[in-house]
C-alpha cells in the first residue's frame, strides 16, 4: 500500500525552550488505523493540535491529500478529544445540527446521518434528550456520533474508549473498524497498549518529541523478537533434559513441569537445526515457537533504551 492521506515532514514545535516536537516524519496510509503512542509529555497532544489547525508548527510541513494542510481542511477531519465537550442544555439532535453545520453539512445531511447513527446504536428515540439527562456512557456515544457525523476523511481519536464499559467499548471498536474498512483514515491515540494492538495496523511511538518507532505492528514485533523459544515436550527423558540444561550453548528455564509435559524458554545462540535435534532427542516435541514480544513489552524496552 502506498497511498498516504497524511504526510508529515520535519515537523517541529517549540514552547519557549521546550522542544515539544523534534523533526517529526510520518506517513499515514489511507484507510489505516494508525496508533499514536507515548508517555505523557511525549508530544502527542501537540501533534494532534497541529493537525486540527489549533496551533501551527514552527518548522516542517503537513500535507493532507498531497497538499499543504489549511484551516479549510478541518471540515474533512473529525476529532474526538480525551476531554469531551458537549453543551449540556442542548438536545442530541440540536448538537448534531450545530456541529454538523460547522463542518459544512446542510441540516438535511446532518439529520440523515444522525438518524443513521442513532439507529446503529439503537437510541433513535433519544434524539430529543438533553445531554445533562444522559449517563456518561451514553453521552460518550453521542460525542462519537457527532465526531463522525460529517463522514471525515481523517478521524482523530484520543482515548476513544474512555468512559465506556467493556460491552460498549466493543461496540465503538466495531464501528471504528468499519469506518476504516470504508476508507476513513484513523489516528488512534491511547495509553492502553492492548487497545492499540487490537485496533491498529501501524504505530508511531513518540518520546520527548522524537519518533522512536514507526511502522506496521507486525514488522516492529518481528524486529524486536529475540532468539527466545517456547517449547513443549511430552514424555521427555530426564537425563537428556539435564544434558540440554547443562549445555553452555543454551540458557534454559523450566516454566512448567509435570509427569508428561515440559515447557521452557530457550535463549538460543546456536544454529536452529542443532537446537531442534537436541530437543527431538529429549522427547516428543509438540510445540516450538519463537517468542514475539507484545506492544507493551516493546514500548517499555524502547523507552528504557532511549
pLDDT tens digits, one per residue of 137-170? 888 899 999 999 999 999 999 999 987 889 999 9
Averaged pLDDT, 48-61? 96
Cα separation of 149 and 141, whole Å?
A: 12
Q: How many CB atoms lie within 10 A of CB 181?
A: 10
* pLDDT band with cut points at 50, 70 and 90 for residue 198: very high
Q: With cut-offs at 50, 70 and 90, classify the pLDDT of residue 260.
A: low
Distance CA 106, CA 83 (A): 27
Distance CA(167)–CA(260), nearest Å, equals 40
What is the model's pLDDT at position 76?
96
Q: Where are the beta strands (DSSP E) in the chain?
A: 4-15, 18-29, 33-37, 59-64, 67-68, 77-80, 154-158, 185-189, 202-207, 210-216, 228-234, 250-257, 261-268, 284-290
Q: Which has the minimum average pLDDT: 77-81, 276-280, 296-300?
A: 276-280
What does the angle CA 280 – CA 282 – CA 232 come to, to the nearest 5 degrees?
A: 80
Reported confidence tier of residue 64, pLDDT bands at 50, 70, 90: very high
Integer Rg of the chain from CA? 25
For the chain, what percent of residues have pLDDT higher than 70? 96
Cell of 181: 474498512
Q: List the Cα angle 174/151/145 in 5-degree steps.
A: 55
pLDDT of residue 240: 87
Region at 103 (left for phi over 0; alpha for psi -120 to 50; beta for the rest): alpha
| Confidence at residue 18, expressed as pLDDT on a 0 to 100 scale | 93
- What's the predicted TM-score (pTM) here? 0.86
Q: Which of 165, 211, 239, 231 is nearest to 22 (CA)?
A: 211
More confident residue, 264 or 193: 193
Q: What is the pLDDT of residue 271?
A: 64
Give the CA distances from residue 35 to residues 45, 97, 111, 184, 256, in Å, rounded to whole numbers and listed in that order.
13, 30, 31, 14, 36
pLDDT above 90: percentage of residues in the chain: 65
pLDDT band at 1 (very low <50, low <70, confident <90, very high): low
Mean pLDDT of the chain: 90
pLDDT at 269 over 70: no
pLDDT of residue 32: 95
Specify the higher pLDDT residue, 292 or 55.
Answer: 55
pLDDT at position 272: 65
Looking at residues 91-119, what average pLDDT do you find?
94
Report all structural domains of the chain as residue ranges with CATH numbers, in order of start: 4-219 (3.40.50.300), 226-290 (3.30.70.1150)
Cα separation, 184 vs 236, in Å, equals 53
Rama region for 148: left / alpha / beta (φ>0; ψ in -120 to 50; rest): alpha
Over the stretch 66-101, which tens digit does the pLDDT of each residue have? Answer: 999 999 999 999 999 887 778 889 999 999 999 999
**Coil/strand/helix, residue 179:** helix
Compare 204 and 278 and report the one with higher pLDDT: 204
Amino acid at each position: 500500500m502506498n497511498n498516504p492521506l497524511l504526510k508529515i515532514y520535519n515537523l517541529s514545535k517549540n514552547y519557549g525552550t521546550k522542544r515539544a516536537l523534534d523533526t517529526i516524519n510520518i506517513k499515514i496510509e489511507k484507510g489505516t488505523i494508525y496508533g499514536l503512542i507515548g508517555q505523557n509529555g511525549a508530544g502527542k497532544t501537540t501533534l494532534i493540535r497541529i493537525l486540527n489547525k489549533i496551533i501551527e508548527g514552527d518548522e516542517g510541513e503537513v500535507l493532507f491529500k498531497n497538499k499543504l494542510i489549511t484551516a479549510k481542511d478541518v471540515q474533512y477531519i473529525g476529532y474526538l478529544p480525551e476531554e469531551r465537550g458537549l453543551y449540556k442544555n442542548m438536545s442530541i439532535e440540536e448538537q448534531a445540527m450545530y456541529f454538523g453545520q460547522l463542518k459544512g453539512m446542510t441540516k438535511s445531511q446532518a439529520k440523515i446521518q444522525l438518524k443513521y447513527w442513532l439507529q446503529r446504536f439503537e437510541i433513535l428515540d433519544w434524539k430529543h434528550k438533553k445531554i445533562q439527562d444522559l449517563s456518561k456512557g451514553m453521552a460518550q456515544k453521542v460525542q462519537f456520533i457527532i465526531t463522525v457525523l460529517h463522514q471525515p476523511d481523517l478521524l482523530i481519536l484520543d482515548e476513544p474508549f474512555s468512559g465506556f464499559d467493556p460491552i460498549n467499548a466493543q461496540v465503538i471498536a466495531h464501528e471504528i473498524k468499519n469506518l476504516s474498512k470504508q476508507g476513513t483514515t484513523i489516528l488512534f491515540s491511547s495509553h492502553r497498549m492492548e487497545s492499540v494492538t487490537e485496533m491498529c495496523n501501524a504505530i508511531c511511538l513518540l518520546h520527548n518529541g522524537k519518533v522512536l518507532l514507526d511502522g506496521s505492528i507486525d514488522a516492529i514485533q518481528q524486529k524486536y523478537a529475540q532468539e527466545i523459544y517456547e517449547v513443549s515436550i511430552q514424555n521427555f527423558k530426564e537425563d537428556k533434559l539435564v544434558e540440554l540444561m547443562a549445555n553452555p550453548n543454551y540458557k534454559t528455564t523450566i516454566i512448567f513441569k509435570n509427569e508428561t509435559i515440559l515447557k521452557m524458554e530457550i535463549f538460543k545462540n546456536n544454529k536452529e537445526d542443532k537446537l531442534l535435534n537436541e530437543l527431538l532427542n529429549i522427547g516428543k516435541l509438540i510445540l516450538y515457537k519463537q517468542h514475539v514480544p507484545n506492544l507493551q513489552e516493546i514500548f517499555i524496552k524502547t523507552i528504557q533504551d532511549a
